[in-house]
Amino acid sequence: MKIWLLALVATATAGVIPRPVEVKEGEGQLKIEAGGFVALRDYDKRAWVEALSEAAGVELRMAPADVGSVVQFLGTDFVPDGLPKPTGEGYVLRIQPQTAIVHADTEAGHFYGLQTLVQLLEEAERDDGATLLPCATVIDSPRFGWRGFMLDESRHFSGKEAVLRLLDQMARYKLNRFHWHLTDSPGWRIEIKRYPKLTEIGSRGSETDRREDAPRQFYTQDEVREIVAYARERGITVVPEIDMPGHADAAVRAYPEHDGGGFKNGKPFKWSRFTFNPAKPETLAFLDGILEEVADLFPDAGVIHFGGDEVHFGWGKWKELPEVKALMEKEGFSELAEVETWFNRRMAGKINELGFATGGWDEIAGRDLPRDGTLVFWWRHDKPQVLRRALDDGYPVVLCPRRPLYFDFVQHDSHKVGRRWGGFNPLDQVYAFPDSLNVLEPGDADQVRGIQANLWTETTVTQARRDFMTFPRLLALAEAAWTPADRKDFADFEERLKDQLPRLDRAAVGYYDPYRSSPEVKR
């Protein structure tokens, strides 16, 4: 009997993704029946009661008081001796024969305790209309504060429904930053009231549809606010990206007076208006105006990302622009890189003035931006020296290298569509990050804010393919971001993952099934 019970406990606590820091198995089980109360402290969260009801398969009710509740959310005062008092996003979950208690110090901590409880309830044994939850204590907190996922909306547009569904999945697996790449050459995807042509003209088309009369695809400001609020309810901060001075074709299409041209190695390339004019006062004022509206729409973002990537691909025409010539003369610049740096400092200054840190791709490292107002996103996996330099220079960084964290790279060798670069990005390599990286030193811990995967959407025309590229890698990312290195175990993760795949089916989320080699979704 005892052995059987322990076996049950072992499987019941084994299922959670991301794997918690510590799980102590208890004795006995908590019986959850219809009509049971959930005590929410001072939170008004009907959604939490609904999530628990759905996971338990029985209808629970919001409790009038803490007494007699089958699930309780409590502060840290009541954590018994011998257990740590959780802080920040951490929580302690105690499942006892009479009640399950989530202790935390913050709403985020309670929310993550809820997610763990939900996953445990989903796989708990059902008995005659009740759900039997094995007793256990879970002590948990994240490895990284920044657990991110980036979605490129410009190359192909996902739209509100898909984004809300993605946020649900991110929250379920305890990811907490949604980096929203809203602008790029194919399309401008966010309404800016001061500049209506950005969406009247700039939002038409995509990577695979270059018709001038293609349908408009963008988020209205109301939709942006709705998505930001939806994310906030789920512990997720939405970080907007407005890419500049490169990747600007869509905006320049709408407002050609800001054109800075686009030349690659002296020759025009696909995006002939790849850059903003980096030195024209009207263009800088235009970008200021955009950033002001963005700041209003994302008041809690903490970071506004201004791109800053791949500018040299498209700056071939800068030398001919009168404003650039005048700037170079005035400042005594001899190189375009100095113009780029000048532009970076000017716009980062604006973002800081608005009360946000400036996020930027790793090209912005080495430009002497304020260390406390800048966040560097290291993406060029083939340039570890850039990461090393950024760290040595004192910048905080988010690690999102192409390999293994770009989800537009294929995840299985048999896959034909998608990127490769000296290899590709299978599940186990996503999982092994960042412990697989040999650039980091123990002293870097404070500066490494976390990790993030990026879904660039050049090759993902349909939502089915975006899902296919994102899942199940998103779950490996989540565990890599949350679980301490010494608790990571890929074989164990795979066992838990097999139990999560049917949950993705139920949520109508597509994925690549590595255990059945499901057919490639090519478009």
Residue with Cβ nearer ligand TNX (18 or 260): 260
Measure the CA–CA gap between 296 and 474, rounded to whole angstroms.
Answer: 30
Half-sphere exposure of 301 (CA within 13 A, CB side): 30
By CB under 6 A, residue 310 contacts ligand TNX: yes
By CB under 6 A, residue 309 contacts ligand TNX: yes
The DSSP-derived string for 141-196 is --S-SEEEEEEE-SSS---HHHHHHHHHHHHHTT--EEEEE-B-SS-B-B--TT-T
Q: Are 465 and 521 in contact (CB under 8 A)?
A: yes
CB-based burial label for 174 (10 Å; 0-12, 13-18, 19+): buried
Residue with Cβ nearer ligand TNX (69 or 459): 459
Q: Which of 250, 292, 299, 296 is nearest to 273 (CA)?
A: 250
Shortest approach of ligand TNX to residue 249 CB, angstroms?
A: 12
Where are the alpha helices (H) located in 298-383, listed in sequence order? 322-331, 336-353
In the residue annotation, 247 being an active-site residue is answered as yes
Longest dimension (CA), the chain: 85
Residue with Cβ nearer ligand TNX (298 or 456): 456
Measure the CA–CA gap between 365 and 380, rounded to whole angstroms.
Answer: 12
Q: Could you count the other beta carbons within 10 Å of the beta carbon of residue 437?
A: 17
Q: How many residues bind ligand TNX (CB under 6 A)?
A: 9
Catalytic option among 310, 338, 393, 444: 310
Shortest approach of ligand TNX to residue 419 CB, angstroms?
A: 6
Q: Which of residues 322-361 bind ligand TNX (CB under 6 A)?
A: 361
By CB under 6 A, residue 379 contacts ligand TNX: yes
Phi, psi values for residue 453, rounded to 5°: -105, 150
Shortest approach of ligand TNX to residue 201 CB, angstroms?
A: 21
Among 456, 468, 493, 512, binds ligand TNX (CB under 6 A): 456
Residue with Cβ nearer ligand TNX (286 or 361): 361
Task: From residue 206, give the alpha-carbon distance in Å to each of 154, 158, 187, 254, 278.
Answer: 7, 11, 6, 15, 25
Shortest approach of ligand TNX to residue 418 CB, angstroms?
A: 9
Catalytic option among 247, 258, 305, 381: 247
Shortest approach of ligand TNX to residue 245 CB, angstroms?
A: 13
In the residue annotation, 156 being an active-site residue is answered as no
Residue with Cβ nearer ligand TNX (172 or 179): 179
Shortest approach of ligand TNX to residue 191 CB, angstroms?
A: 22
Among 408, 471, 478, 497, binds ligand TNX (CB under 6 A): 408
Catalytic option among 89, 152, 184, 408: 184
Name the site residues for ligand TNX (rule: CB under 6 A).
309-310, 361, 379, 406, 408, 419, 456, 458
List active site positions.
184, 247, 310
